[in-house]
Structure 1
């Protein structure tokens, strides 16, 4: 794969005394749009299950997607803030961070994070009201807390090697099964297999991101799972996650309709991404691989959705 240009990816340093006024482009970069497929894909997969069970609601699917997007952008800004104030991003390899580069003040980025969480909460309340499942408010609150404490607070779980566990739960199982549940009032087992596939790929996105930053994270005392597994172990773990995602799509199709195998379109992106990771890809080249992993998850979720629609 071609190497990405680095001019837009290196943190821009601010002159001493210069006002921290980030441009619109810098805020968009800080939102890390390449991670947004991890938010949309599980919602599509869950909506596909609802289609198969003849309980699909376009309104509830859109609301679930807005909740997921709000949480994803919020956690991206929250990570930017928390890592920035801790100094973890001082020698970052990869896309610019708002706080670490001095483009924006920490308080501004923190406010942006909580603003996104607030929007997610509003859309979530509307969704809960439509579904009539008020206990889901507790699930929503847990999602926001998990998003903040990934790198926030005194003992962030992302610094303890637990990031992948929570990503799998919230951006895999909760997002997929939850989307199906608010439409069906139940959670059929194919929703869980679909959620497993989406969660595995969401974790693969995180592995790819942290693999790039192993050296800097070790120096900053950030003990991600990748710093614990080491470079070789992390690369193998990525390949295992990719394999789990493929098997999960097959299992989902077996429990619903074989048209759901359209979700295997993910391999178009997963094969080159996995080859690059196992081949020893380093530094900024992993940014492209991270993007391919996100596209793989989106292709998987969209393929399951389209397959269920055809099968119906």
Structure 2
């Protein structure tokens, strides 16, 4: 349960929430594919967390200097062979959960599923170490899950959905930024050159703040679509987002940033809930 990192699972729920809400707003709702999308998203997120736990321990990044929450392999709670079996089982379960979506979205859904699985592994093993993790968040926690969820509900994707999916990806990227901000010193020593390591402390703090502002700014395009409530409600997200940013910039370093990570996950869920409620209304 701890290896699944429950606090991070808001990142899996929010894109599907927004996709379903946008479809509902446009007069579409299919409960079965909506449920399958939620399950697939949760399982893939858990799979990514298992993979991250496994490979970061192998590469020596989860040592005694680590500031983040304890990791299962590093603490010896789960052996490496057992974690490998867990990764295989979770990957297969994700695929079995997503396979019925072919009935609703055609064989394109197989391609989407394969991409999700492949990049689930590439994130930890390669792309996160090259500073490309934030790009993957925009694609796999924004564009793909929101767009695919809407497509499975309606059979098409309208331009405003891409705008909402980008807003979703920007908001969720705050979670990765604060995670990498906390671990920047350890990552640099371990050769994991994240975006935070590349741009430095101050720029990373500004990035965190402006990701939230940009996400809310994109929601303002809903005025043009005749959906004012969906534009107005997400503005409320900026209050807790700014409060969390101030706490983050005040702490700078230390295990206390784990609290900022938890607040960020809460804020992301609030953003998704406010936008979804706005779309439902």
Short-chain TM bin: over 0.9
For the structure 1 residues 280 and 256, does the alpha-carbon distance in structure 2 shift closer, same or farther, using more than 3 Å as the test? farther
1:136 and 2:106 equivalent? no
Residue matched to 1:67: 40
- 1:102 partnered with 2:71: no
Does the CA contact (< 8 Å) of 1:52 and 1:256 recur in 2?
Answer: no
Greater shift in the superposed pair: 103-112 or 250-259: 250-259
Question: In the alignment, does 2:161 pair up with 1:188?
Answer: no
Match of 1:295 among 248, 253, 266: 266
- Determine if contact 1:98/1:104 at 8 Å carries over to the other structure: yes
One of 76, 96, 121 as aligned partner of 1:148: 121
- Contact residue 133 and residue 182 of structure 1 kept, 8 A: no
Q: Is the 8 A contact 1:201 1:293 kept in 2?
A: no
Unaligned runs of 5+ in 2: none
TM-score by length of 1: 0.85
Match of 2:249 in 1: 278
Equivalent position of 1:125 in the other structure: 99
Distance 1:252 1:290 in 2: 29
Structure 1 match to 2:6: 33
Whether contact under 8 Å (2:182, 2:253) holds in the other structure is yes
- Superposed CA deviations along residues 46-102 of structure 1, whole A, max 9, x for unmatched, are 111101111122222111111110111110110000001111111211101111222
- Is 1:56 the counterpart of 2:29 in the alignment? yes
Mapping of 1:137-216 within 5 angstroms?
137-152=110-125, 156-216=126-186
What CA deviation, in whole Å up to 9, does each residue of 1:179-236 have, x standing for no partner? Answer: 1011111111221111111101221100100100011111111111111111112111
For residues 268 and 66 of structure 1, the distance between their equivalents in structure 2, rounded to whole angstroms, comes to 31
Q: Is the 8 A contact 1:265 1:296 kept in 2?
A: no
After the TM superposition, which parts of structure 1 deviate over 4 Å for at least 4 consecutive aligned residues? none
Question: Are residue 111 (structure 1) and residue 85 (structure 2) matched?
Answer: yes
Quote the Cα distance in structure 2 between the aligned partners of 1:29 and 1:309. 34
User: Quick one: distance in 1 between partners of 2:102 and 2:273?
Assistant: 24
Shift of 1:253: 5.0
Q: Deviations over 1:155-193 (max 9, x none)?
A: x11100000001110111111111101111111122111
Superimposed CA distance per residue, residues 135-156 of structure 1 (whole angstroms, 9 cap, x where no aligned partner): 121111101111111112xxx1
Distance of 1:54 and 1:211 partners within structure 2:
41
Instruction: Summarize the Cα distance change of 1:273–1:102 in structure 2 as closer, same or farther, 3 Å threshold.
Output: same
Greater shift in the superposed pair: 198-207 or 115-124 = 115-124
Q: Distance in 2 between matches of 1:227 and 1:137?
A: 35
What's the CA shift for 1:256?
4.8
Count of residues in Structure 1 that have an aligned counterpart in Structure 2? 279
- SS of residue paired to 2:70: coil
Aligned CA distance change for structure 1 residues 41 and 265 (closer, same or farther; 3 Å): farther
DSSP 3-state at the match of 1:279: helix
Q: Secondary structure at the match of 2:219?
A: helix
More helix by share: 2
Tell me how far apart the structure 1 counterparts of residues 30 and 273 of structure 2 sit (CA, whole Å): 16
Moved more, 88-97 or 285-294: 285-294
Q: Which one is further off, 229-238 or 209-218?
A: 229-238
Secondary structure in 1 matching 2:3: helix
Aligned positions of 1:224-263 closer than 5 A: 224-252=194-222, 254-260=224-230, 261-263=232-234
The question of whether the paired residues in 1 share the 8 Å contact of 2:99 and 2:110 is answered with yes
Contact 1:268 1:296 in 2 (8 A): no
Tell me the alpha carbon deviations over residues 107-128 of structure 1, each in whole angstroms, 9 at most, x when there is no partner.
Answer: 2122222322222211211122
Unpaired runs of at least 5, structure 1 = 1-27
Matched with 1:76 is 49
